[in-house]
Amino acid sequence: MKAYDGMYIDGAWRPAAGPDVIEVVDPADGQVIATVPAGTVEDVDAAVRAARAALPAWAATAPAERAARLAALRDALVARQDEIARTVTAELGAPLKLSQTVHAAVPIAVAGSYAELAATYPFEERTGNSTVLHEPVGVVGAITPWNYPLHQIVAKAAPALAAGCTIVVKPAEDTPLVARLLAEAMHEAGVPAGVFNLVTGLGPVAGQALAEHPGVDLVSFTGSTAVGRRIGAVAAAAVKKVALELGGKSANVILPGADLARAVNVGVANVMSNSGQTCSAWTRMLVHRDQYDEAVELAAAAAAKYGDRIGPLVNATQQERVLGYIEKGVAEGARLVAGGPDAPRERGCFVRPTVFADVTPEMTIAQEEIFGPVLSVLRYEDEEDALRIANGTVYGLAGAVWAADEARATAFARRMETGQVDINGGRFNPLAPFGGYKQSGVGRELGVHGLTEYLQTKSLQF
């Protein structure tokens, strides 16, 4: 076990203000692998002060130089790719291949995309007799989750730095180690002191202090809708900007005529990836009544192939929560066709890949975000019925539509109340905006839209 000391504040590792520590646990076996400092209000204040002091010079830095630092950051992350993957596997429990192909590779792509955007974005534009300036919003407080622990930080820090903002990051307490690697990469990339700051700590202490700090101009939070509501209320009271990326209950709509086997298999893989700990996962599969029984068989077979090859959930609390949802699904009358509420191993926070059939839209498992490897398969009568079911939750983060005719799938997707839809499988695009309708959040991440979250406008009239 390694005992890490210090917070990355003002370009250096500094001792924490208090003596408390957070234990980092490997969810695969329950072993404590490291400790990090549990940050206090004093640590957060020191980090925000450093960010405020660094803001004028960084905001005045030429976009080309900001782009160069982000390109250097991308290169530093590439050099650490294997270390990043091993670290995420140790603290999150993700299988090493997933850590390499997603947890390490996606943040590299995102950092690279913002290196290019910082160099090419028009920070000034003319409209009529005015010049409109796009200026950094100021100091950003970023509170990030554990499920994609590096990506979620880079998706905030890279656009913030591209915009000319400075930032204080409070990573999830379950996965702080990869955040420390990012701070080291920022240092290696020559990001000036105070521009990027890292404070590890508990949400109700360090996270709340960051959200409430009067020196923070924008709070960017990714996590549960419940916590997002509280952060939004705090930000509104202080009249500061807020960006919230919250929960989801995304629908995977398979229209008649689609390649059913492919749609079901890709849909199951989507839900089981990262052990179901993905806010945008397609956790509701909607199938026409005439193909329903075949789809259920395909989904059960696809889930069974995973066996116990998916990683554990991040901690015992999450494991209990997900198993409780599985029990509730059974109690409310859904039919288990794969997996179930019994843990597959004595040690570790594992949950079986689970598929429910005969799920109706009003059931708890069809309405609430489970955040585990649990798929609900629902039947629909016609396209209008499918649309009602797809749009029939408080969430609207992502989704998928499958059809033999791409135009038909696109027409259906246009009517879905959700922020991102994959057509016939789609492909991840780091330049496309990501974010939700309804209670899935406020604002967008990635691409130009993600950059503009960290900008404010000033118009000069001539």
Q: Which residues are catalytic?
A: 245, 279
Q: How confident is the model at residue 346 (pLDDT cuts 50, 70, 90)?
A: confident
Beta carbons within 10 angstroms of residue 454's beta carbon: 28
Measured over the CA atoms of residue 173, residue 174, residue 179 and residue 181, the dihedral's sign is positive
Residue 145 tokens read as 């989750």
- pLDDT for 343: 83
Cross-strand partners of 7 = 14
The CA distance from 57 to 60, in Å, is 5
Looking up tokens 């009517």 gives 415
Q: Residues of the chain with pLDDT > 70: what percent?
A: 100
Contact 332, 364 (CB under 8 A): yes
The CA distance from 25 to 318, in Å, is 13
From the list 100, 105, 73, the residue with the least C-alpha distance to 86 is 100
8-17, 105-114, 314-323, 341-350: which range is least confident on average?
341-350
Contact 312, 171 (CB under 8 A): no
pTM given for the model? 0.97
pLDDT at 307 over 90: no
Backbone φ/ψ region at 446: left (φ over 0), alpha (ψ -120 to 50), beta: left
For 460, the 3-state DSSP assignment is strand
For 309, the 3-state DSSP assignment is coil
Per residue in 370-409, pLDDT (tens digit) is 999 999 999 999 999 999 999 999 999 999 999 999 999 9
- pLDDT for 449: 98
Q: Which residue pairs, CB below 8 angstroms and at least 24 apart, start in 336-343?
A: 337/296, 337/299, 337/300, 338/299, 338/300, 338/303, 338/304, 339/303, 339/373, 339/374, 343/319
- pLDDT for 19: 96
- pLDDT for 309: 80
Task: Estimate the share of the chain in helix, then strand, then coil, as percent rounded to the nearest 5.
Answer: 45, 20, 35
- pLDDT for 446: 98
The CA distance from 135 to 431, in Å, is 21
Domains in the chain with CATH codes: 2-246+439-461 (3.40.605.10), 251-430 (3.40.309.10)
Integer CA distances (angstroms), 438 to 13, 194, 196, 391, 394, in order: 40, 35, 31, 10, 6
Q: Residues of the chain with pLDDT > 90: what percent?
A: 98
Alpha helices in 99-257 (DSSP H): 105-120, 151-163, 177-188, 208-212, 225-237
